[in-house]
Amino acid sequence: MTEVVEAPENQIWGSYDKTVKKIKIVLAVAWVLFQIISAMLNVPDPARARVIHLTFALIFVYLTFPFRRGNKNIMSALEGCANILAILLAIAGAVYMYTQYDLLIWRIGVPLPGDIIFGLIEIVLILEAVRRSLGWPLVILVSLFILYGYVGPHMPSILAHRGLSTARIMSNLYLGDGGIWGILLGVSTTYVASFIIFGSFFNITGAGAWFIDISYGLAGWMTGGPAKMAVIASALFGTISGNSAANVVTTGTFTIPLMKRVGYNNAFAGAVESVSSTGGQIMPPVMGAAAFLMVQVLGLPYAVIAKAALLPAILYFGSELICVHFEAKRVKLEGLPRTELPPIWATFKRGWFFLLPILVLLYLIFWQQLSPIFAALVSAFVSLLIAVFNKNNRLNVKKLIEACKDASNNMIQVAVACAAAGILVGMVSLTGLGFRISELILYISGENLMITLVLSAFASIIFGIGMPTTAVYIVVSSLIAPAIVELGVPALAAHLFIFYFACISAITPPVAVAAYAAAPLAKADPMDVGVKAFRLGLVAFIIPFMFVDNQALLLEGSFLTIFSAIISSTLGICALSGAVTGWLISDLKLWERVVLFMAALGMLKVGLATDIVGFVVLVFFIIKNLRRNKAAGEAV
């Protein structure tokens, strides 16, 4: 028998993989410690902290993501050497920037050859890191914006500019704080990193499983209970996750099989989880990373943004609950037997302390008006204390390391996306493209607000194909938000509108990120899941237009104004949900769905007359269908 001898190269790279895993563990712990120390002690200064933050992210990308996406277990010797070279260049660039920073800021406008070389290397490393971790779309977009800086004199008149030299581009993007090292990377280094660490530490307490059990007890017994469980669990988990795909994987593992068990088809079960999990990014207190970018862009406290986002988020999840209830009634699905569900009071007593970190977070941000960064890290510490004293899920070194690994994995993509978006914003500023695009949008729309909003929503969804929410928000807010504001919309409402559509692009076919995450769990076709998610979440696509039209939905105005807006909006989404699902007390005919849809739009639009007409139509259908059910002997 011939003995098979492993090739020396395979031995080398097998050893390489083992070494990389150990290095990543050490780096993950070091990165989390650095972020905590940097945030709490403000050491080093903010500019240098951004350099270290990005360097950690670049090193992790080149240690984690292969050159060819999809070939995670195949790496040639050449590729391994290239990865090592990229890491060494990233470290060299960090050392150069860290040691030279005080001198570099004096060379803005007159960079030395070394500045230009290191700037070019940094941009290439960032774009390759984005390509590996996020794909081509953002790389192509940033590259086009850089190219635009050179070809400005040859562009059509409305887009033309004088053209930029490499020295000027590098001076702005690399030496100053208007590009790579700007506020976007600053948000990633501070706000986003702190909340990611909080989320990772919170998860190791076992709170996620407790939230799911609570949702089981609350809604599992109801009509279509498992679907409602998915909505509630995602709303609860989304308050500390802020990530659509992560939410799908965490809650969908439990909820999708249960939905299928009571009779929901595979694709619809995946769609429910996709829509529910997408709402995690818009649900306070911990919203998606783009919400923290809004803090810096608008110069508003995070508490103000979270407060404004609260009611739209409730309407989002409320509309989905109504839709899944109507769908369950339409296809006559029941809930789970109470004997199979955890008793709600006993479950609450078993894990009430899991609420403490969230309550501390809310108290520090909204009552004490302290920095969200400080509040997130204090809440992370409270989470660790809970894990230490929780005898059912005691904290140990292994769990702590897993939390650090989870935090570092979540920080990677946000950091490189923010760095790339910083390049894009820097080019927009240098070329004046933002002003030109705003003028063009206003010209195309004829300064009509509705057309401008539709263009903005369309742009957010298109850019959302293959791009993370943070990048979508930055691109669209830089180019189109000024046009919306110029038409009289308050800046907060305009930016929330863009943020909202950047988030729900995750359930918009053909590339619906949340649907693609849910499809394997549901054993369904991703496109089928995406289409059903789009239909189920149709109400969500109307909510942003509602709060732009009616600022009371952002909790601005008198109590009476806000209360009336809540009532009309709730009735409107009930009618719209009935029109979408084809059920309201009983099955609806096509013409009834069309009339109900128009009535819903009337109640969702500001105006007493339209509210009254819509309400009368809704009551008419409710009474009509109640009589129909009574005659047929059916229950509501």
State the helix-helix crossing angle for 113-134 and 77-104, rounded to 10 degrees. 130
Whether 312 maps to a domain, the answer reads no
The neighbouring-strand residues paired with 583 are 587
445 pLDDT band (50/70/90 cuts)? very high
Whether 3 maps to a domain, the answer reads no
Average pLDDT rounded to a whole number, residues 266-272: 91
The SS3 call for residue 547 is helix
pLDDT score recorded for residue 328: 86
Distance CA 181, CA 90 (A): 14
pLDDT score recorded for residue 7: 41
Average pLDDT rounded to a whole number, residues 539-559: 93
What does pLDDT average to over the chain? 88
Average pLDDT rounded to a whole number, residues 491-516: 90
Whether 613 maps to a domain, the answer reads yes
> Each residue of 77-91: pLDDT tens digit?
788 889 999 999 999
Whether 131 maps to a domain, the answer reads no
> Each residue of 172-189: pLDDT tens digit?
999 888 899 999 999 999
Whether 516 maps to a domain, the answer reads no
Average pLDDT rounded to a whole number, residues 406-419: 93
Roughly how many angstroms between the first and final C-alpha of the chain, as a whole number? Answer: 75
Average pLDDT rounded to a whole number, residues 321-335: 86
pLDDT score recorded for residue 8: 46
Whether 630 maps to a domain, the answer reads yes
Q: Is the pLDDT of residue 289 over 70?
A: yes
Q: Is the pLDDT of residue 5 over 70?
A: no
More confident residue, 312 or 9: 312
Distance CA 256, CA 264 (A): 9
The count of structural domains within the chain is 1
Whether 110 maps to a domain, the answer reads no
Give long-range contacts, CB 8 A cutoff, 24+ apart: 567-570: 568/603, 568/604, 568/611, 569/315, 569/603, 569/604, 570/315, 570/318
Q: Alpha carbon of 602 to those of 88, 431, 504, 613: distances in Å?
A: 61, 43, 23, 7
144 pLDDT band (50/70/90 cuts)? very high
9 pLDDT band (50/70/90 cuts)? very low
Whether 213 maps to a domain, the answer reads no
546 pLDDT band (50/70/90 cuts)? very high
Average pLDDT rounded to a whole number, residues 461-485: 88
pLDDT score recorded for residue 208: 78
pLDDT score recorded for residue 209: 81
pLDDT score recorded for residue 190: 95
pLDDT score recorded for residue 193: 94
Closest CA to 504 of 480, 472, 482, 526: 472
Closest CA to 197 of 414, 506, 420, 422: 414
Read off the DSSP letter of residue 4: P
> What's the domain range around 566?
557-636
pLDDT score recorded for residue 16: 65
Average pLDDT rounded to a whole number, residues 563-589: 93
Asked if residue 144 lies in contact with residue 79, where contact means CB atoms within 8 angstroms, the answer is no
Q: Is the pLDDT of residue 58 over 90?
A: yes
Average pLDDT rounded to a whole number, residues 374-393: 92
Q: Over pLDDT 70: what percentage of the chain?
A: 94
2 pLDDT band (50/70/90 cuts)? very low
149 pLDDT band (50/70/90 cuts)? very high
Asked if residue 266 lies in contact with residue 228, where contact means CB atoms within 8 angstroms, the answer is no
Asked if residue 274 lies in contact with residue 483, where contact means CB atoms within 8 angstroms, the answer is no
Kindly compute the dihedral angle of the four CA atoms of residues 37, 42, 45, 47, in this order, to the nearest 10 degrees: 80
466 burial via Cβ count (<10 Å: 0-12, 13-18, 19+): middle
pLDDT score recorded for residue 203: 86
373 pLDDT band (50/70/90 cuts)? very high
